[in-house]
Structure formats: structure tokens, C-alpha cells
Amino acid sequence: MLQEFKSFIMKGNVLDLAVGVIIGAAFGKIVNSAVNDLIMPLVGLFMGKVDFSNLFVTLSGGSYPTIAAAKAAGAPTLNYGIFLNTAIDFLIMALVIFMIVKSANKVRKAEEPAPAPPGRECPFCKSAVHDEATRCPHCTSELR
């Protein structure tokens, strides 16, 4: 059983998945920081100096200056500003992943070998036949 587990773990796709998850988590932190520290402050500045991370509605009807104050008082809140930040995080990550996949597909397509040209044509069924074949694989006619 230990040997089976070792062969499972050492398969290329499991290692690739592990590396992908680790890099994805690190990439997520970078995107989260870019949104929270670079993009949202600029958006907030252009929209009248609004801090999106502190936009909320109190469900109990009270008035609180910050989300932290509302939570300290035990008031239920709808934190739509944090939701906006998270939605923008997702959109940026989706865009970057789309661009990575698109460029990887372009590289993969460029690396695909051209299909091998057919050796010759069967005189009976006009199918492609290998140069060394003595019979057509399609119509089984004898070739010269």
C-alpha cells in the first residue's frame, strides 16, 4: 500500500497540481494586494474619496462609523464594500488566467508538429497509404 501511495504521489499530474495550487495561492495574494492597495484606492479617489472596504449597511438600524465598531457592538451588517473588493479580485484573476491560458494555447499550437504528408495514394480508393505498404489499409487492394 505504501508503494502504491508513493507511485500515486510521484505521478506528474499530482506534482503539477500541487505546484499549481501553491503558485495559485501566492498569485491570489498578489492580486488581492493589487486590488486592495492599488486599484480600489484609485477607484475610491475618483468616486469622491470613498473607502470601499468600509462600505456597509447595518441591519439593526443603528449608526456606526466603521465595520469594526458595528461588529464590536454586535450589530449585523451587510458589508457590500468588501464584496465589491472580492468581486474585483475575482475579475482580475479571471482575466489574468484567461490571458495565461490563451498564450499557453498559442505556444502549444505553434509547437504542434505538422501532420506527416501521406506517402502515396491508393490507385483504387484514392486513400493515403504509407510508402512501404504492400496493401491499402482502407480497401485492402494490392499495391505495386
118 and 105 fall within a common domain: no
Cβ(67)–Cβ(77) below 8 Å:
yes
Three-state SS string over 100-123 comes to HHHHHHHHHHHHCCCCCCCCEECC
Strands, E, within 12-109: which ranges?
57-58, 77-78
Cβ(12)–Cβ(19) below 8 Å:
no
What is residue 52's DSSP assignment?
A: G
101 and 37 fall within a common domain: yes
16 and 62 fall within a common domain: yes
Q: How many domains does the chain have?
A: 2
Amino acid symbol at 76: P
7 and 37 fall within a common domain: yes
120 and 83 fall within a common domain: no
58 and 125 fall within a common domain: no
Name the grid cell of 52: 470601499
108 and 122 fall within a common domain: no
Task: Write out pLDDT tens, residues 70-101.
Answer: 989 989 999 998 898 888 888 888 888 888 88
Q: Residue 86 burial by CB count (10 A; 0-12/13-18/19+): exposed, middle or buried?
A: middle
Q: How many CB atoms lie within 10 A of CB 56?
A: 19
What is residue 78's DSSP assignment?
A: E
Task: Write out pLDDT tens, residues 47-77.
Answer: 777 777 788 998 888 888 888 899 899 899 9
Cβ(125)–Cβ(143) below 8 Å:
no
Task: Write out pLDDT tens, residues 97-131.
Answer: 888 889 888 887 777 676 666 688 888 998 888 88
18-24 average pLDDT score: 87
Q: Which percentage of the chain shows pLDDT scores above 70?
A: 94
12-34 average pLDDT score: 84
119 and 80 fall within a common domain: no
What domain range is 125 assigned to?
A: 114-144
107 and 143 fall within a common domain: no
Q: Bridge-partner residues for 135, per DSSP?
A: 142
CATH number at residue 28: 1.10.1200.120
How many Å apart are CA 43 and CA 51, to the nearest integer? 9
